[in-house]
Structure 1
């Protein structure tokens, strides 16, 4: 059976003059359709580079990214990215920002009325329909990220890529958005890959957690399955033995890698 998404022996290096920096080495991973996978590791381990390779924003040096057995070598609407910075156009309203993406992807396949309904459906999904006529400067950081997620989902991607989407938010807003993402994932069954530094967030949201070794030439150190039933409720999980065991395993991995960094200094 062919993997839905396959990272096949990926290497990635960047060259500057005569100097070559090896960022990723021999990345091997398969991800099933509908799976939620988090990628975690210390700063500089190439997490965002790996996400950019899957998005097609940069090309591999060796190996291949395969989505449904087709090689990924450029950006495409089947892989939508939500960055830590919402990247909304400030002169457009919430509705217009999403319409820009929807018109690009569905301009020929959906009528104007169908595109409108699709935009509103995705705004409803992130509970932002009430703010459709507001501009980014008129809404909070958490609301901007909701709009960014709605814009990504409105492209109906095969893979949703989240690059630390909640990193700049306060703890309460972050918790609400985590709950929103879990709800969206349960409703849509979208294949999701998320970069995070937050251990609790990774355990709460993920089916599996991919733990990266330190750079340079970072690779996958361990992959942890998170056998928690869905839907997940954070209050109940606070004392759940499986949650705590998974949390401990990730913390132990990261702590050991931090010791390696200190020893090298």
Structure 2
């Protein structure tokens, strides 16, 4: 059976003048439809570069990305990205920020009334329908990120790409948004690839955690299965042996890699 999303022998080298830096080396990963996969590793290991390659924002030096057995090497609505910075257009309202993408993707397939209903449906999914007429400067950081998620979901992507989406938020807001994303994943069954530096976040949200070795020439060091049933409740997981075992293994991997760098 073909993998839904496949990263096939990906290498990435950056060249500046006469200097070349190999960031990623021989990355191989398959992701099934509906899976939630997190990529974790130390700074400089190429996590965001890898996500940008999947998004089509950065090309590979060797290898390719296959989505439903079709090579993707440029941006497209089938892969929507939510960045750490919400990237909302400040002169547009919450509704208009989401509507912009909806009009672009569905102009030929949905009527104006259908597009309006679809925007409001996705704002309701992230509990932001009440703020439809507010501008980004009038809402909190967590609310802006909710709008960014609604905008991505509204394009009906085959893969949702999250680049440290909660990294700039305070702990309480981050926890609320993590719970919201878990609920959305449970409801929609969408395929998610997330970059994170937060061990607890990775274990809480993911079906598998991809642990990257340190750069340069970073590789996939280990892929950890997270055998926790869904839906998940963070308070119950705090003392769950399987949760604690996964958390310990990720920490061990990261600390082993950190010690290796310090010793080098």
In the superposition, the TM-score normalised over structure 2's length comes to 1.00
Structure 1 unaligned residues grouped into runs of 5+: none
The alpha-carbon deviation at position 18 of structure 1 amounts to 1.1
Alpha-carbon displacement from aligned partner over 1:158-194 (angstroms, at most 9, x marks no partner)? 0000000000000000000000000000000000000
Corresponding residue for 2:119? 119
Alpha-carbon displacement from aligned partner over 1:186-239 (angstroms, at most 9, x marks no partner)? 000000000000000000000000000000000000000000000000000000
State the SS of the aligned residue for 2:65. strand
The alpha-carbon deviation at position 141 of structure 1 amounts to 0.1
Corresponding residue for 1:252? 252
Alpha-carbon displacement from aligned partner over 1:49-79 (angstroms, at most 9, x marks no partner)? 0000000001100011000011111000000
Q: Where in structure 2 are the equivalents of 1:166-205 lying within 5 Å?
A: 166-205=166-205
The alpha-carbon deviation at position 261 of structure 1 amounts to 1.1
Q: Where in structure 2 are the equivalents of 1:63-102 lying within 5 Å?
A: 63-102=63-102
Q: Do residues 262 (structure 1) and 262 (structure 2) align?
A: yes
The alpha-carbon deviation at position 250 of structure 1 amounts to 0.2
State the SS of the aligned residue for 1:53. helix
Structure 2 unaligned residues grouped into runs of 5+: none
Alpha-carbon displacement from aligned partner over 1:70-119 (angstroms, at most 9, x marks no partner)? 11110000000000000000000000000000000001110000000000
For 1:223 and 1:2, the matched residues in 2 are separated by 19
For 1:258 and 1:166, the matched residues in 2 are separated by 23
RMSD over aligned Cα, in angstroms?
0.3
State the SS of the aligned residue for 2:99. helix
State the SS of the aligned residue for 2:134. coil
Corresponding residue for 1:242? 242
Q: Do residues 16 (structure 1) and 31 (structure 2) align?
A: no
Q: Do residues 206 (structure 1) and 218 (structure 2) align?
A: no
For 1:10 and 1:72, the matched residues in 2 are separated by 13
In the superposition, the TM-score normalised over structure 1's length comes to 0.99
Q: How many residues align?
A: 264
For 2:35 and 2:104, the matched residues in 1 are separated by 27
For 1:184 and 1:168, the matched residues in 2 are separated by 21
The alpha-carbon deviation at position 140 of structure 1 amounts to 0.1
Corresponding residue for 1:131? 131
Structure 1 runs (4+) deviating above 4 angstroms are none
Q: Where in structure 2 are the equivalents of 1:141-180 lying within 5 Å?
A: 141-180=141-180
